[in-house]
Every structure is written in structure tokens, then in C-alpha cells.
Amino acid sequence: MSNDLSTIETPRTIPPLGGFSGRILGLELRRLGRNKRAVIFTLILPSVFFLLFGTDSSYKTESAGHGNVTAWVMVSMAVYGAMIATTSGGAMVATERALGWSRQLRLTPLHPVAYIAVKTLVAMTMGLAAIAVVFVVGQFFGAELPLWRVLLCGLVGWATSLVFAAFGLFMGYLLPSENVMQILGPSLAVLSFAGGLFLPLSEMSHVFATIAKFTPAYGVGVLSRAPLGGDESVLLAVLNVVVWGGLFIAGAAWRMSRDTHRV
Amino acid sequence: MNTTPAVRLTGVTKYFGQVRAVDGIDLTIQPGEVVAFLGPNGAGKTTTVDMLLGLSRPTGGDVEVFGGEARRAVALGRVAAVMQTGGLLKDFTIRETVEFTASLFRPARPVDEVLQRAGIADIGDRLVGKASGGQQQRLRFAMALLSDPDLLVLDEPTTGMDVQGRRDFWSAIRDDARRGRTTLFATHYLEEADAYADRVVLMRHGRIVADGTAAEIKAMAAGRSVRVTWPDADTAALAALPGIDAIDIRGDSVIVHASDSDSVARYLLNQTPARDLEVTSRNLEDAFVALTGDADQTEGVLA
């Protein structure tokens, strides 16, 4: 074994958990807060949509399940916000690859899985913030739903938005572009409409309502609104979330392993 | 005391499809050496550096860093690198970038210390995106210092730095080299290779074409020039000497290019009225062009 000066002092080791730490998570979140685009799209825009589409005075008096229509729109817009937040959180890998940061990280002990864990947690933290903001605004602008149901909606919405964190990661590896959200932003808007977040399926034509059930935002939306009460099939929604989640996670893992071999 | 080489490449090749980026190189670098890696674009320098850092695998041959796998040496912080471009996030501050990297190494030097040594302690709060190219390069240097590496690999390290920055940078590198840090740098600044490297390795077409001290390489490529003042010189007698490459007459001056400058000088002083003798080697740039140029393309193809 070599025995030169620097190894005598402290033995060199590889960090625990592949380099994952609260320190890194904290730095990443601070960095995210500087991204004005992300802040506007995830923390402000969903609430603006809620105020535009959900606070009509007739909606406040019209009931929907255990609450009013305003609460229905509130939950839907929170899910929309969480979708944007988690997708853009996952898609940060595209930016970091484009800038060569991923390559720089390969000159450190950071394990690829730890890196993905950090990205996912950052995405999920963002998603939680997006939901919380819409819910707080909702409380002040006429959403009526018992608090425990509100919290349950939020919890389910947050947990299921993991599907979109995986989607963001997959796309982030697929599209090595610094401005990947300029492509994904409009796609998410389309998926939100198609999945019935902006318009209930009952308002759609039969054909569109059928297609809607196969799109990835549908399952997340239905499950998040389930504590509010509704007539849509929870079982179908669970199936939707599991299938899309599985596809996106598999896709992200596949692209990631290719990436690790190549760079 | 320590006989494990810092770097040992044995018959290393790297193909990208049909292209041979690295075409069979053997290279051993001992701990404490400061080695310059020179070569024109496409010579295979960066590909070789990538394999040393475990960023890519050789197609054939063996890459050993401190007697083990490159990837492991990197993860332990024994090897660190300053890459030429990219590699930084614009919305971290300079200090955050260093803190992020510092959190990964066990052990790691204090953040303030490396910022200080890289000369960016006063701009730690600046966003990377707002820092100049030279400041970003210093940041990359600071990150490379964090693990107190035994081998430092630098790819065009002073690109974008001003004269003062370049001077500070090299003085820091020299200090560490004196304390035993092995340093390998690729550079286009030939004078940097000349001034700072103990050893210069020249690459062309994926092969090592020369390996020695800067002085040896200069001599190898171009020999030396002997200039004397000698009116009405007897050039015919001079040309008859062995090892003469060229003779220039410029007024009263005679300039003789020769591989064996010593015997030319001895002849001129002992057997001719020539005076004011000067011996100069060609600079490294001439040697670089001579050894890496495509003038003798056939040799490259045959090789």
C-alpha cells in the first residue's frame, strides 16, 4: 500500500449514503428559491388560476361531494401546481446535464442514486409548497371543506405527484436542454386539461372523457379529490397512477443508467 | 518510501466507433512530478485525461491511478481535476458551490481556506452566473483543492484568467508540487509548459510522440542554433561538418542550425576567425510545431 504524507493524517473515506445529506438538500432548496420562473409557475400561477376559475359566487354555493365547487377547483389547481413543481424539480437534471454539472459531480463521491434522491426530494418539497399555497389561498376565498378532508386531499395529491417527479426526471434525461421546462410547461397544461383538472369529465364529450381516463393527470386528480367525495372510480385512478408512475420510473432509471455509462 | 506510481497507463487505447482517439499509449507518472500534456486539438489529450479521471473507460489496455481504479481514487479525493468548461450551476453562489462539493469529501479542507487559496474569498457571495470566466476558473480550482488531492489534473487551467490570475494560480500549483503533489496539466500555453513542468509529454494522433524535459524536447525537435560574427565566412567548410541542418548568412552573422551544437561551436572557435558566439535553443513552440505538425503525415499514417 502507498503511504504518503496526506494519507497519514486522516484516512480518506467515501461519504455515507452515497453523499446524500441534509446539507446538500438545503443548498439545493436555496438555489431553487432563486429561480424566479419556478417560483412564479409553481407558487403563484396555480393560485391565480384558482381565483380565476374557482371563486365565481355560484361555485361557492353549489355543493360538490362534501364541500363546494370552489373546494373542487382548489384541490384541482393544487394538483396542477404540484404537477408543475415536481416535473420541473425532476427536469432540473436536464439543465444540470446541459451545463456540465453532472460531469463535475462525477469527480466527487456523489453516487448517482443519491443524486436522484436529492432531485426527487427537492421536487417533492416544491410540490408540497405548491399545494400548501393554493390551499391557504382557498381558505380565504370561499373553499368549503372540513379541514381533515382538506389535509387528506393535500396529502394524497402530494404523494401521487411523485408520478410527475418521475416524469420530470425521465424527460430531464431524455431532453438534454437547458430550457427543458419551455417544452414541458405547455405539455403539462395539455395533460392537465386532458386529465380533467380544469374541467370535470362530466362536462366533456363522451370521447374526450374516455380518452381522459388514460392520461397521467387523471389518476392523480381523481385520487386527490377522493376525500372530497365524487363519483369517479378510485380503482381506475389507482391503476392509472400505478401504470404511469411505473412507466416514468422505469424510463428515468433506463435513461439514467445509460447516462452513467456514457458520460 | 512510496513506489506506487501516481499514474500508470499500459497500452491504453480508446476508440469512438472507427476513430482511434487514443492509439496505444504507455505512461508512468511518479508521485511529485509536474507533467505538462501538450498536443494539438484532437491529439487525444482530453480523452486520456477523461480515462485518468474515470469519466470514460479505455477500449483496451489498463489505467491505474495510485495502484487502483481511477473511479475509486476520484471518490476518495486522491485525484481532483479542473476541467476546461462548464461544470458550474449559475444560480449557486461561489461559496455555495464550494460548500456543496465540500460536503461530499471525507476529509475536506475548510471552505474558507480553499476560497482564500484560489483568490476568491472576497466574492464568495456572488452568483456563479455573475462571475467572470476567470473567477469561474478560480472556483473550479477551489473545488479541486477541497479534497487535498495527491494528484491534480488540470485541463487548460488558466483559460480566461488575466496575467495576475495566471501568475497566482501557478504559484499556488508550484507550492503544492514542492510539498509533493503530483500535477498533470494540459495546456495550449507553451510557455506555461516550459516554465512550470518538470516533464513534457507531447501527443499527436492519439500517441505519445515525445516525452522528456522541456529542454530535451526542444533539442529533440530542432537542435540548436549557433550564431557567430564571421565576415566572409567559409560556408563550404562549415557545411562539410557532420550534423549541420542549415546555414544562414545575414550580413556579417552566420547562423548554423545543428543537432550537435557543441561540435559546431568547438570548430568555429578553434579553427575559424569567428567570434561573438551565441548558442540558442529554439523555443518550445518551434519544437511543438515540429513534433506535432502534420508535415510528416505519412509517418502518422504508417504508425
Residue B85 domain-assigned?
A: no
Q: Which residue has the cell 513506489?
A: B3
Give me the pLDDT at residue A50, please. 95
CATH of the domain at B212: 3.40.50.300
CA distances from B234 to B176, B240, B278 (A): 53, 11, 18
CATH of the domain at B250: 3.30.70
Q: What is the pLDDT along chain B (303 residues), one digit of tens a residue?
A: 557 999 999 999 999 988 899 999 999 999 999 999 988 878 888 899 999 999 889 999 999 999 999 999 999 999 999 987 668 999 999 999 999 999 999 999 999 999 999 999 999 999 999 999 889 989 999 999 999 999 999 988 877 778 888 888 888 888 888 888 999 998 877 778 888 899 999 888 899 988 998 888 777 665 678 889 998 888 888 888 887 877 888 888 888 888 788 888 899 999 889 999 988 876 666 677 767 765 443 333 332
User: B87–A103: do the CB atoms touch at under 8 Å?
Assistant: yes
Round to whole Å and give the CA distance between A255 and B259: 57
User: A2–B67: do the CB atoms touch at under 8 Å?
Assistant: yes
Residue B106 domain-assigned?
A: no
Residue B107 domain-assigned?
A: no
The residues on B that touch A, with CB distances below 8 Å, are 1-2, 4, 31, 53-56, 66-67, 74-78, 80-81, 83, 85-92, 96, 99-101, 103-107, 127, 143, 147-148, 150, 179-180
Q: Which domain holds residue B34?
A: 7-78+149-218
Give me the pLDDT at residue A63, please. 86
- Same-domain check for residues B242 and B265: yes
Residues of A within 8 A of B75 (CB-CB) are 14, 108-109
- Same-domain check for residues B191 and B250: no
- Same-domain check for residues B174 and B236: no
Round to whole Å and give the CA distance between B117 and B113: 6
| pTM of the shown model | 0.81
Q: Are B81 and B51 in contact (CB under 8 A)?
A: no
Helix (H) / strand (E) containing A75: helix A69-98
